[in-house]
Amino acid sequence: MGRNLEIMYIVKSKRLGLKPMTSEIIEAALNNISSLEKVIQSHVLEDFLEPVYTERVLPIRLHKTMVNPDLAEWYGFIVEFESNTVVGTMGFKMPPDEKGLIEIGYGIHHTFQGKGYATEMAVALIDWAFQQKSVKGITATNVLKNNLPSIKILEKLGMQVVEQTSETIDYILLK
């Protein structure tokens, strides 16, 4: 059993692993928490899947993943090894565009914020992405200027500001 779990991770860091959002996993998440737990073989907090996630994000991701199953390896659930609990989501919104750029996105459940999980997983995920020949750079766009925790993470990752508006900032990290 442990061996199968090992295979499921897209990428791992010291404390965390990223399990892919396959269409099967997304369907389980849309069904209920216990279905998700069974499929990914990890604990999921009852309030983990917020309505915006189940009503908008996951249905869109499911459709895209059913059309192109390879999308599953670009986004996933972050699992804390010590507790085998899902602590957040992270990945790239789509495969690389024609310029070789991919946009990172992430969210950590409030219970697990402030532990460095987003930075730790992002470092591992970016290392993985830069091993893909098609990836030339990582972007983060429309980051709200008042989202200081996210800005701090992006700065720790070495991302550079490329554009700003009165409310948002766009970042890039080139290979």
pLDDT band for position 93 (cuts 50, 70, 90)? confident
On the question of pLDDT at 130 being above 60, the answer is: yes
List, edge to edge, every strand of the sheet that includes 137-144. Answer: 11-12, 16-20, 75-80, 85-92, 101-108, 137-144, 168-174, 160-164
Distance CA 107, CA 30 (A): 18
pLDDT in tens, 19-28: 999 999 999 9
- As a whole number, the mean pLDDT across the chain is 92
Is pLDDT at 72 greater than 90 in this prediction? no
Instruction: Give how many domains the chain has, as a whole number.
Output: 1
Model-level pTM? 0.90
Question: What CATH number corresponds to the domain at position 31?
Answer: 3.40.630.30
Q: Can you give the residue range of the structural domain that contains 132?
A: 2-174
Given a cut of 60, whether residue 57 has pLDDT beyond it is yes
> For a pLDDT cut of 90, what percent of the chain falls above it?
81
